[in-house]
Amino acid sequence: MIIAIDGPAGSGKTTIGRMVAERLGFALVDTGLFYRAVTVEARRRGIGAGDVTSLVQMVGELDIDINTSPKAGRDSPLLTIDGRDVSREAHDPAIAMELSQIAQLPDVRRLLVESQRRSARGDAVVLGRDIGTVIFPDADVKFFFTAPAAERVARRRRELDRARGSATPDAVLEQEIEARDRADQEREVAPLRAASDAIIVATEGKSVHQVFDEVMARLPKH
């Protein structure tokens, strides 16, 4: 069974997706990690988001390994590139601008689609922006999470503070979220959009447990 969860940055997909995957014993495939991996490696090699030819060549050579255990990051690396653990760099707010530029490139997206589908063989909760529309249009159930920008900024703040006592100012986080929202919604290929058959989950003002219960209640029996 494939459970698709799409939505903008900070809408709660990762937290809820992980809980659902753990409860059901499913894999958790966070497709944003593919774009993060490409961005981290491009920066390491000094390749800019405008150099599509070099990026495409690089993506073809890379061995991106996404850990699909819902416990990943706690007892094993979440993301490795050619065997190097890059989980930390992948969530550095400093990569945000290039990340959304790279995620807009149709040639890069095309190359990542197959790897994303391959990582989600079998029973999986799959997180992203275009899962219900492009990656798994036949998913067994599709959710689309929403939350106002201010609440999503506050969630990112808490996440970052928990992860490493971040000193990132709120204004930077706001810009990051707004720029990514705009880029994700306005890009020509696979924009952030709810599939016509997606269940809309408005997470504003709800606790994690409320959202979790709402999602569990809508799952098809299996």
Backbone angles phi and psi of 100, in degrees to 5: -75, -30
184 binds ligand DC (CB under 6 A): yes
At closest approach, how far in Å is the CB of 28 from ligand DC?
12
CA 69 – CA 56 distance, rounded (Å): 28
Tell me how far CA of residue 46 lies from CA of 32, 41, 99, 222, in angstroms.
Answer: 21, 8, 14, 47
Q: Coil, strand, or helix at residue 29?
A: strand
156 binds ligand DC (CB under 6 A): no
User: Residue 27: enclosing H or E segment and its boundaries?
Assistant: strand 27-30
Instruction: Please say which residue, 135 or 215, places its beta carbon nearer to ligand DC.
Output: 135
Among residues 103, 111, 120, 173, the one that binds ligand DC under rule CB under 6 A: 103
CA 34 – CA 59 distance, rounded (Å): 10
Single out the segment in contact with ligand DC by CB under 6 A; choices: 57-65, 96-104, 136-144, 201-209.
96-104
130 binds ligand DC (CB under 6 A): yes
100 binds ligand DC (CB under 6 A): yes
Among residues 12, 32, 70, 132, the one that binds ligand DC under rule CB under 6 A: 32
Positions in the binding site for ligand DC (CB under 6 A): 9, 31-32, 35-36, 99-100, 103, 128-130, 180, 184
